[in-house]
Amino acid sequence: MKPRTRRAIWIVSGLAALGIASALVLNAFQSNLVFFFTPSQVAAHEAPSGRAFRIGGLVEAGSVVHEKDALTVHFRVTDTAQTIPVVFTGHLPDLFREGKGVVAQGRLMGDGTFHASDVLAKHDENYMPPEAAEALRKAGHPIDKAAFAGQKGKS
């Protein structure tokens, strides 16, 4: 066997071993690598209890209610299967809108409401001019049907 063939075999087998090892490690840490939990996962008690975590989903249409102080806002986060009511006091990001993606960090209270300390907007990967979006809406295909594509753990 030529030395360079031996080196090539070493490199290929090393890379294969490394790939398998990292696949196993990533699989073991699967649940720790998620940025947020979906309402369905929370309902199935997959989210950590007793400490802060993030929930993500769509802001349910018609659920946003501002309190009189104008800073506290109530809304519901849904993944179309399960829904969680959220209370948040603070500044909302510009892209926070009904029917759009949202990720909130906070704690789940005993009464089932989620007290958020931070709210982030999650936008989708569709880019189009306003006229195209309007045309889609009129045709009955709101672009946010699949706004949360790529979401894991959807039941």
Residues that bind another protein (CB under 8 A): 4, 7-8, 11, 14-15, 18-19, 22, 26, 30, 33-38, 56, 91-96, 100, 103, 118-134, 143, 149-153
* Nearer to another protein (CB atom), residue 98 or residue 118: 118
Residue corresponding to tokens 């998620």: 34
Checking DSSP bridges between strand 72-78 and strand 114-122, what pairing results, if any? unpaired
Q: Are 97 and 110 in contact (CB under 8 A)?
A: no
Distance of alpha carbon 91 from alpha carbon 23, whole angstroms = 39
- The minimum distance between CB 72 and another protein, in angstroms, equals 17
* Nearer to another protein (CB atom), residue 32 or residue 111: 32
Sequence letter at residue 22: S
**Between the CA of residue 73 and those of 2, 65, 91, 98, what are the distances in Å?**
71, 6, 10, 13
* Nearer to another protein (CB atom), residue 32 or residue 68: 32
Q: Which two tokens stand for residue 27?
A: 């699989």
- The minimum distance between CB 19 and another protein, in angstroms, equals 6
- The minimum distance between CB 5 and another protein, in angstroms, equals 8
- The minimum distance between CB 111 and another protein, in angstroms, equals 25
* Nearer to another protein (CB atom), residue 35 or residue 155: 35
